Chain A
Amino acid sequence: MDRRKAEETFFKWLTAICTIIVVGSALAIVVTVIIKGAPALSLSMITQTPSGGYYTGTAGGGILNAIVGSLYLAFGATALAIAISLPVALFLQRDYAMKSGFTGFVRFVLDILWGVPSIVLGMFMLTIMFFLGMRASLGAGIIVLALLELPIMIRAMDAAIRSVPDKMKEASYALGATRLETSLKVVVRQALPGLLVAILLAFGRAIGDGASIMLTSGYSDRIPTSLGDPVASLPLAIFYLSGLPYSGAKEKAYAAAFILLVIVLLVSMISRYILKKFSKYVVK
Chain B
Amino acid sequence: MFSSRLMLIVTFFVVVVLFLIIFVLLRKSWPILSTKSLGELLSWSWLPSQGKFGFSPFILGTLAVTAVAMIIAIPLSILTAIYIAEYAPRKLRAIVKPFIDLLAGIPSIVFGLFGVLVVVPLVSGYLAPLFGTTSTGYCVLSAGIVLALMVFPIMISICVELFEAVPGGVREASLALGATRWQMVKHVVVRSSFPGIIAAIILGFGRAFGETLAVMMVVGNSPVTPSLFGPAYPLTALIANNYGEMMSVPMYESALMLAAFILLVVSVISIIAARLILRRVERRWAVG
Contact = CB atoms under 8 A, between A and B. Distances in A.
A142 interface: no
B209 A117 contact: yes
Contact of A120 (B75, B101, B180, B264): B264
B212 A119 contact: yes
Interface in A251-270: 253-254, 257, 260-261, 264-265, 267-268
Given A33-B110, A115-B206, A128-B24, A211 B236 contact: yes
Interface stretch (B37-45, B164-172, B267-275): B267-275
Interface in B6-27: 6-8, 10-11, 13-15, 17-18, 20-21, 24-25
Interface residues of A, number: 78
Interface in A92-134: 92, 96, 105-106, 108-121, 123-124, 126-128
Given A87-B7, A127-B257, A207-B107, A214 B83 contact: no
Chain B interface mostly helix, strand, loop or mixed? helix
Nearest to A5: B180
Contacts of A23: 96, 99-100
Interface stretch (B49-57, B111-119, B126-134, B224-232): B111-119
B201 interface: no
A29 B236 contact: no
B84 interface: yes
Contacts of B24: 124, 127-128
A225 interface: no
Nearest to A214: B240
A7 B181 CA distance: 10
B30 interface: no
Contact of B114 (A32, A109, A116): A32
A96 B271 contact: no
Given A112-B271, A268-B102, A120 B263 contact: yes
B156 A111 contact: no
Interface string A76-91: 0000000010011011
Interface of A: 4-5, 7-8, 11-12, 14-16, 18-19, 21-23, 25-26, 28-30, 32-33, 36, 84, 87-88, 90-92, 96, 105-106, 108-121, 123-124, 126-128, 147, 150, 154, 179-180, 204, 207-211, 214-215, 235, 238-239, 242-243, 253-254, 257, 260-261, 264-265, 267-268, 272
5 contacts: A19-B79, A29-B149, A115-B271, A238-B112, A264-B106
